[in-house]
Amino acid sequence: MSHVFPRHCHAQLPTAVGGDGCYLIDSTGKRYFDASGGAAVSCLGHSNERVRQAIKDQVDRLAFAHTGFFTSDPAEELADLLIANAPEGIERVYFVSGGSEAVEAAIKLARQYYLEVGQPERRHLIARRQSYHGNTLGALAAGGNAWRRAQFDPLLIGVSHIAPCYEYAERVEGESLADYGRRAADELEAEILRLGADTVMAFIAEPVVGATLGAVPAVEGYFARIREICDKYGVLLILDEVMCGMGRTGHLFACTGEGVRPDIVTIAKGLGAGYQPVGAMLCSGAIYDAIASGSGFFQHGHTYIGHPVATAAGLAVVREMLEHDLPARVRALEPVMEQALRKAFGQHPNVGDIRGRGLFWGVELVADRDGKVPFDPAKGVAGKLKKAAMAQGLICYPMPGTRDGRNGDHVLLAPPFVMAEEDAGLIAQRLAAALEDVLR
């Protein structure tokens, strides 16, 4: 009998014992193509020698030094490398151990910034429906997925949620993409004015929405308008790139593809590529300077922030990405992945939408393609698809509740950047076989 407290008490999971490139191997020897990178994590695959060696070397030198007493070479070098490649104005890096921690740090920094500059009335955070920002209480409050929030709602801080930029389901007939993007973005201005323009501290959004919507990019012009609104009312723009950043959508920072400048940006997942738990919150020089010239102390912190072994792994990962120009490779693989998915599912009666960017793709499943009608949640399509895909030797990331936290199903794909072109066909083929098993 296992004494591990699992994610689901009644799940019978295979035991992973090895990793080989894009594959995970269980204790029976079965190989699974990791088409979702776990949860968009394993961007370099499972056997990158450079990263493995960096971890071993760092453990031999120094395993741990608390950041209340010391800094460390790998943390300093990784921060320098990230800032050298960060969006305009981003000048400081605060290391954490994962995405939820990065978002918590971002929210708290936004609040403290306004205290430091003498605007204590700024306390409201605005986010979007069907967003996902993590599972700690602050990050969960920011997230807009009703199903994830429901049982913890009495414990959550109040956060306003406006519409996502979800063109497939929310653009009305006859509305141009530009008009739709403007309408969706203008909800932010309306909410700022409703709350009181001098009381809003920040707006948080994913440049490409990950887990809860399934790789949904904004329409062109949406984020430019968001930035304009934030600037107009003195609201900080926090971009959550925990899932879509670090090369996943074809740029080291996903906001580069949107041409938008954040005040704060969060990263994780691909930063450590699964080799170590590491994330970061990056902020503008203006925000850092307000703290430095004020109290001089960001009132936040965890024991393992800036961990030498974790930052050594992150440093090796980012060097691997930059020296081999893996974001460019991701951009080159984007049409290959799209073509494979459209060939397999473009005319499928139960596939409503195929969307994504780089190596970050979503396939939305529907009961009625013409009417965009989702499956009855009681059918449990997403859960069944996950099992069927595993049987086919494919790891993917199906999720229910795509439309509103209850209705809708999609599958998220986020394969390693080191995949071969022919692997796109393998992914589509195995996913098609799994979907056929579920729907027969």
DSSP string computed for 269-308: GGGTTTSS--EEEEEEHHHHHHHHTTTS--S---TTTT-H
Range of the domain at 236: 75-89+100-268+289-298
In this structure, the answer to whether residues 293 and 342 fall within a common structural domain is: no
Alpha-carbon distances, residue 331 vs 177, 185, 254, 359, 425 (angstroms)? 23, 27, 12, 8, 17
Tell whether 219 is covered by a domain: yes
Specify whether 188 is located in the same domain as 136.
Answer: yes
Residue type, 59: V
Last residue of a domain, one of 298, 315, 349: 298
Closest CA to 385 of 432, 418, 353: 432
pLDDT at 385 over 90: yes
| Domain-embedded: residue 151 | yes
Closest CA to 106 of 199, 253, 240, 295: 240
d(CA 325, CA 244): 17
- Residue 251 placed within a domain: yes
Based on the fold, state whether residues 263 and 342 are members of the same structural domain: no
How does pLDDT run across 153-204, given as a tens digit for each residue?
999 999 999 999 999 999 999 999 999 999 999 999 999 999 999 999 999 9
Determine the average pLDDT of the residues in 11-36: 97
- Mean of the pLDDT values across residues 101-121? 98
Q: Which two tokens stand for residue 399?
A: 């999720």
Distance between CA 57 and CA 274 in Å, rounded?
18
**121 and 252 assigned to the same domain:** yes
248 and 377 fall within a common domain: no
Is residue 62 one of the residues assigned to a domain?
A: no
Nearest to 320 by CA among 71, 90, 52, 64: 52
Average pLDDT along the chain: 97
The residues that bridge with 4 in the sheet, in sequence order, are none
Domain count, the chain: 2
Is residue 241 located within the same domain as residue 379? Answer: no
Alpha-carbon distance of 230 to 284, in angstroms, equals 15
Are residues 259 and 384 located together in one domain of the fold? no
Pair (160, 43) in one structural domain: no
- Is 80 found in the same domain as 37? no
Look at residue 82 in the predicted model and tell me its pLDDT: 98
> 83 and 142: one domain?
yes
pLDDT at 403 over 90: yes
Is residue 1 a part of any domain in this protein? no
Written as six digits, the tokens of 43 are 């961007």
Residue 237 CA to residue 185 CA, distance in Å, equals: 13
pLDDT digits (tens, 9 = 90+) for 67-101: 999 999 999 999 999 999 999 999 999 999 999 99
Is the pTM here over 0.75, yes or no? yes
Domain boundary among 298, 317, 340: 298
Is residue 406 in a domain?
Answer: yes
Q: Region 324-345: what's the mean pLDDT? A: 98
Residues 294 and 329 occupy one common structural domain: no
- Whether residue 256 contacts residue 242, with contact meaning beta carbons closer than 8 Å, is answered with no
CATH number for the domain harbouring residue 212: 3.40.640.10
Structure tokens at 180: 């739709």
pLDDT band at 232 (very low <50, low <70, confident <90, very high): very high
Q: Is residue 273 part of a domain?
A: no
Q: Is residue 95 part of a domain?
A: no
Q: Which pLDDT does position 1 carry in this prediction? A: 83
Q: How confident is the model at residue 352 (pLDDT cuts 50, 70, 90)?
A: very high
The CA–CA distances, whole Å, from 28 to 8, 14, 33, 343 equal 22, 9, 15, 33
Same domain, yes or no: 85 and 223: yes
pLDDT at residue 355 tops 90: yes
DSSP secondary structure code for residue 374 in this structure: P
The answer to whether residue 377 scores a pLDDT higher than 90 is yes
Out of 143-152, 232-241, 419-428, pick the least confident: 143-152
Residue 11 has pLDDT above 90, yes or no: no
